[in-house]
Amino acid sequence: MSAVPMVRCFRSGLEESVHAGDVAVVDAGGSLVAFAGEPSRPVFARSSMKPLQATVSLSLAPLEFSDREVAVMCASHNAEPVHIEAVRSILTRAGIAEEALQCPAMRPWDEETAIASPERRRINSDCSGKHAGMLAASLCQGWPLESYRDPDHPLQQAVLRAVLSWSRRHSVEVGVDGCGVPVHGMPLSSMASIYGALVRPEALRDLATHAERAVSAMRAEPYLVAGRNRTDTAVMQASPHLIVKGGAEGLMCAGIIDRGLGVAVKIHDGAARAAGPALIHVLRLLDVLDQPTLAELEPFAELPVLGGGRPVGRLVAHFELQRA
């Protein structure tokens, strides 16, 4: 089955472009319950894997991390001051120098922060919280810090075992993510399975309490997971029943806590602007978001299209889910 048209761009009343994609909705038992397009399409997990990676780091680092510290381990953050403070707090708690971070040096994603502090630094990377957690785990286990990104490092092998368990797969593709750590490729439905496992972690055995910790921190500190003008943060702030985490190349995943469902959305052309509207539309179709919440999320569900600095159109998500 081919991808379905999901998000349309209208400018001055004319449909100017269309983003196609796929959706998978999976229950806590790993069964597909709804879909659009091809739920078995292979994808790289990208940053949507961060809650699982943080869970593994927490299981290996017996330190008293705060909610903010755990949330930023799960984050693709804007590098606003609150995010940088949380990452430094992880490093300080573990006794690790900032120079140990091996994520790429970047400017802050947040425009206001970048104007005030435009220099490129590794701690500005949207992945620096994940890397800080991995360093803390490696130090606590007595593993080498210099090679913590390598696929054969004991930490990355522990992550791989969790990926296979949570995704219910015997094997996955392993590549290199933008920040340099391993990235895992699998069917879109398996990404949804991972989020179903996150919100119903009883079957995760030794990792269950750590998964609960990651989810509770994301719920307690959603701003630390992304930040200003970000869909992940906005949806979690608007709804108490969700965790949300985006990934590069148009991937967006969610766990529906009270229903034990995992959701994964992938935009084929990798357009980040379409992933948020598509996810919010899926949550509406699943009756997860009520009308007042949808109204609150309208700035993220129907992004404005600008002309001459003013709105002249919008992005509109429109598609249906099929029951499996």
Task: Please name the fold of domain 4-323.
Answer: Beta-lactamase (3.40.710)
Q: What is the per-residue pLDDT for 109?
A: 95
Percent of the chain with pLDDT over 90: 97
Please indicate whether residue 172 or residue 3 has the higher confidence score (pLDDT): 172
Both tokens of 247, joined, read 């990934």
Domain boundaries, the chain: 4-323
Residue 301 confidence (pLDDT): 97
Total-model pTM: 0.96
Query: If pLDDT is split at 50, 70 and 90, which confidence band does 204 have?
Result: confident
Dihedral-angle region of residue 180 (phi above 0 means left; psi in -120 to 50 means alpha; beta otherwise): left
* pLDDT tens digit sequence for 63-92: 999 999 999 999 999 999 999 999 999 999
Residue 168 has which token pair? 């219910």
What is the rounded distance in angstroms from the CA atom of residue 58 to the CA atom of residue 191?
21
pLDDT greater than 90 at residue 291 = yes
CB–CB of 32/190 below 8 Å? Answer: no
Q: How confident is the model at residue 118 (pLDDT cuts 50, 70, 90)?
A: very high
Residue 255: beta bridge partners? 243, 262
Element (H, E) at 213: helix 208-220
Q: What is the mean pLDDT of residues 222-246?
A: 97
Nearest to 213 by CA among 112, 63, 12, 91: 63
Rounded-to-10 torsion of CA 291, 47, 220, 52: 120
